[in-house]
Amino acid sequence: MRRPILAANWKMHLTRPEARDFVADFLPRVADASAAEIVIAPPYPLLGCVGQCLAGTAVSLAAQNVHPAERGAFTGEVAVAMLVELGCRYVIVGHSERRALFGESDAFVASKAAALLSHGLLPIVCVGETLEDRESGRTFDVLGAQIDGSLAEVPGERAAEIVVAYEPVWAIGTGRTATPEIAQQTHAFVRERLRERFGGAGDRIRIQYGGSVKPENIGVLMSQPDIDGALVGGASLEPASFAKIVHFESQEGSQ
């Protein structure tokens, strides 16, 4: 049984007062949502403030990125130990925006995942094909290579702890969600690849869907057998909207 995991990726949004207001509004709305694991990933400068607001609650703190080195001359970067100090439990790595805008390779993502695990943090490893990949029939080749490359340094005995986020690039921030059928078919491929790589642990790895998730479509997405949660961008910026997503069981589930 895989516990659902719903994660908010705030990207480069919200000020400190807005973040405080968000948490104050959000927490009472999800007080009864213990079946699902809830994660919030604010921008780096808000980690301390949001972490304080979440202290003692069941909501976990995540960072949106990390550098794999222990320390050193990496201007503008943040090390794993710094995120540990701030109370992070998860870190998003390999988001398609990092891959496309900042040139991050699978090997770099793999080194981040390994560094996180070695410090007791858990990576949310993102993979996803572009529209061009999908239209040219290369979706599974691209995803297979991303999974193999990005998880290359995950030790087998730690595999069940990681989270994989399948995020079709064409669905991120576009309002265009993958149909439940396409999402399930692709998640099933990801699951099979994880089984090939990690054996039985592949069945325990949670696979999130990401790409224009909203209260109206979360129910039907979560009813798919290989979808174990969601990584949510735009719709996670409003407390009421993200709280509805967390309560997916009661959603109508229409497209």
Size of the site for ligand PEP (CB under 6 A): 14
Residue 211 engages ligand PEP in binding (rule: CB under 6 A) = yes
Instruction: Give the pair of three-digit tokens for residue 30.
Output: 């999800």
Is residue 95 annotated as part of the catalytic site, yes or no? yes
Q: Of residues 97, 104, 129, 167, which has the active-site annotation? A: 167
Is the CA virtual torsion 37, 42, 44, 48 positive or negative? Answer: negative
Residue ranges in 122-198 assigned as alpha helix (H): 131-135, 139-150, 180-198
Closer by beta carbon to ligand PEP, 79 or else 228: 228
Residue 131 engages ligand PEP in binding (rule: CB under 6 A) = no
Helix or strand (DSSP H, E) at 221? helix 215-222
Is residue 187 annotated as part of the catalytic site, yes or no? no
Task: Looking at residues 141 to 180 of the shown chain, list those that interact with ligand PEP (rule: CB under 6 A).
Answer: 167, 172-173
Closer by beta carbon to ligand PEP, 108 or else 209: 209
Instruction: Give the pair of three-digit tokens for residue 19.
Output: 């973040």
Smallest separation (angstroms) from ligand PEP to the CB of 80: 21
Closer by beta carbon to ligand PEP, 111 or else 212: 212
Per-residue H/E/C for 20-62:
HHHHHHHHHHCCCCCCCEEEEECCHHHHHHHHHHHCCCCCEEE
Q: Count of CB atoms within 10 A of residue 105's CB?
A: 12
State which of residues 61, 151, 231, 245 lies at the interface with ligand PEP (CB under 6 A): 231
Q: Of residues 95, 97, 104, 187, which has the active-site annotation? A: 95
Stretch that binds ligand PEP, among 21-29, 135-143, 148-156, 210-218 (CB under 6 A): 210-218
Instruction: Give the pair of three-digit tokens for residue 37.
Output: 């694991």
Strands (E), 103-244: 122-127, 163-166, 206-210, 229-232
Residue 117 engages ligand PEP in binding (rule: CB under 6 A) = no
Smallest separation (angstroms) from ligand PEP to the CB of 165: 7
Catalogue the active-site residues: 95, 167
Residues that bind ligand PEP (CB under 6 A): 9, 11, 167, 172-173, 210-213, 231-235
